[in-house]
Amino acid sequence: MARLERGVLTLSLAGLLGLAGWASWLDGKAWLAQHLIAHAWQTTLDQGAPQRPWPWADTWPLARLTTPAGETLYVLESTSGEALAFGPGRLAGGIGSDQALTLAGHRDTHFAFLQTLNPGQPFAVQLADGSQQHFQISRQQVINSQQHPLHIPRDDQQLILITCYPFGALTPGGPLRYVVTATSAPTSNAANNHAEQ
């Protein structure tokens, strides 16, 4: 009996170590991916052409978003499941378009901060040519995507951020979307300093 207990204990310990190793691998991979994306963004700014963060990547950074809290997020050119694992993605508009720059992200990772925003808070977006656009939150709403399809306005002076809702849902998916709309804001030294930090 003692031998069986030792065997079960050994298997349990090996399983726990395997899970810890897997979690460490995922964290390390996410950390490395963010550094590679940041490097690809800097190379894009320096060379003026999109750069993939790794040779087999199916996306590339096309903008840098600075949140009201000063956090930097690299916006990727895709909203595929693979791309959204690494950062918010461009859904539509912006960058040479007359439509609002519309970004999507996961509610439990990159866009989790959306639930803490307030009207009037600033965002900054740096484009691949180095230019900066400044926005202020003007509206936050929950929409049912089955009843009201997303309409992307023809207004290149808007930034729209979309994620699934509710934020604390135990299962992903569902028809509800949390939509934050920000409108173009005048630039000031204070906004520029905040965006560059």
CB 73 within 8 A of CB 65: yes
Q: Model confidence at 18, in pLDDT bands (50, 70, 90)?
A: low
- Return the domain boundaries, the chain: 2-196
Question: What is the C-alpha to C-alpha distance for residues 55 and 94, in angstroms, rounded to an integer?
Answer: 26
User: How many CA atoms does the CB half-sphere of 64 hold within 13 Å?
Assistant: 24
CB 188 within 8 A of CB 154: no
CA-wise closest residue to 100 among 171, 156, 168, 180: 156
Strands 101-104 and 89-92, by their bridges, are antiparallel
Judged against a pLDDT cut of 60, whether residue 13 lies above it is answered with: no
Q: Model confidence at 26, in pLDDT bands (50, 70, 90)?
A: low
Question: What is the C-alpha to C-alpha distance for residues 193 and 32, in angstroms, rounded to an integer?
Answer: 28
At residue 194, the pLDDT reads 47
CB 103 within 8 A of CB 93: no
At residue 193, the pLDDT reads 47
- More confident of the two residues 58 and 196: 58
CA-wise closest residue to 131 among 96, 103, 160, 98: 96
Identify the three-state secondary structure at position 19: helix
User: How many CA atoms does the CB half-sphere of 38 hold within 13 Å?
Assistant: 8
DSSP code for 141: E
At residue 31, the pLDDT reads 85
User: How many CA atoms does the CB half-sphere of 173 hold within 13 Å?
Assistant: 2
Q: Model confidence at 10, in pLDDT bands (50, 70, 90)?
A: low
Over residues 51-73, mean pLDDT: 95
CA-wise closest residue to 66 among 55, 75, 77: 75
What b-and-e string marks burial along 12-43, b requiring 16 or more CB atoms within 10 Å of the CB? eeeeeeeeeeeeeeeeeeeeebbebbeebbeb
Judged against a pLDDT cut of 70, whether residue 28 lies above it is answered with: no
Q: For residue range 120-175, list pLDDT tens digits in order.
A: 999 999 999 999 999 999 999 999 999 988 888 888 899 999 999 999 888 878 89
Tell me what the pLDDT averaged over the chain comes to.
Answer: 85
Share of the chain above pLDDT 70, in %: 80
Judged against a pLDDT cut of 70, whether residue 25 lies above it is answered with: no
Q: Which CATH superfamily is domain 2-196 in?
A: Sortase (2.40.260.10)
Which residues make beta-bridge pairs with 41? none
At residue 45, the pLDDT reads 95
At residue 82, the pLDDT reads 85
Q: For residue range 181-190, list pLDDT tens digits in order.
A: 999 997 654 4
At residue 93, the pLDDT reads 84
